[in-house]
Amino acid sequence: MQSESSSTLPKARFNPRRFIFLAALWITIGAFFGFIVAGANGVAPDSWIPFVVFGFIAASFLFSSLFVASMSRNLKPILESAQGGIAKRILESAKGGISPGRRVLARVGKLQEAGLTVSNFKHLFIFTLTVFPEHDAPYETVIRQFITMGELPNFYTGRFVVFVEDAESPGYGLIDKDPPEDWQQKAAEPPDTYKTQKAERSYPDKGTGLLGGELHLSARMSPARLTANVIATLVFLVLGFLAPFALVTGGIDTVATFVQDLPKTLTGRDEGNFDREKLRKVYDRAVAYAGNRQIHSMNIYKGYVKLTIENPARENAYDDVVMRGAVVDSRPDGTSASIKPEETFRISDTNFATLEHALGDALMHGDKNQLLYIGFRNRSEASTIRNNNTSGITIDERKFIVVTVGFDGDYGSTSRTYDVATGQFLN
Which of 26-35, 193-202, 205-214, 284-293 is the least confident region?
205-214
H/E element holding 356? helix 352-365
Backbone phi, psi, residue 384, to 5°:
-100, 125
pLDDT score recorded for residue 42: 60
Q: Are 214 and 208 in contact (CB under 8 A)?
A: yes
Q: Are 380 and 320 in contact (CB under 8 A)?
A: no
How far is it, in rounded angstroms, from Cα 219 to Cα 210? 16
How far is it, in rounded angstroms, from Cα 242 to Cα 236? 10
pLDDT at 185 over 50: yes
Q: Are 307 and 387 in contact (CB under 8 A)?
A: no
Which of 48-52, 84-88, 174-178, 202-206 is the least confident region?
84-88
Q: Of residues 374 and 17, which shows the higher confidence score?
A: 374
Task: Quote the longest CA-to-CA distance of the chain.
Answer: 127
Q: Of residues 39 and 240, which shows the higher confidence score?
A: 240
Which whole-number Å values give the CA distances from 230 to 21, 47, 227, 235, 335, in the listed order? 15, 35, 5, 9, 54
For 348, which DSSP code? G
The amino acid at 419: D
How far is it, in rounded angstroms, from Cα 101 to Cα 74? 13
Confidence band of 6 (pLDDT split at 50, 70, 90): very low
pTM above 0.85, yes or no: no
Q: What percent of the chain has pLDDT over 90?
A: 23
CB half-sphere exposure, 168, CA atoms < 13 A = 13
Which of 6-10, 203-207, 358-362, 392-396 is the least confident region?
6-10
User: Among residues 100, 158, 104, which one has the least CA distance to residue 133?
Assistant: 104
* pLDDT averaged over every residue in the chain: 76
At 91-100, the pLDDT tens digits run 443 444 434 4
CA–centroid distance for 271 within its chain:
26
pLDDT score recorded for residue 301: 93
pLDDT score recorded for residue 315: 79
pLDDT at 255 over 80: no
pLDDT at 205 over 80: no
How far is it, in rounded angstroms, from Cα 93 to Cα 224? 35
Q: Parse the chain into domains and list their residue ranges.
A: 2-223, 272-419
Q: Of residues 4 and 411, which shows the higher confidence score?
A: 411
pLDDT at 8 over 60: no
Long-range Cβ contacts of 38-41 (<8 Å, 24+ apart): 38/244, 38/245, 38/248, 41/303
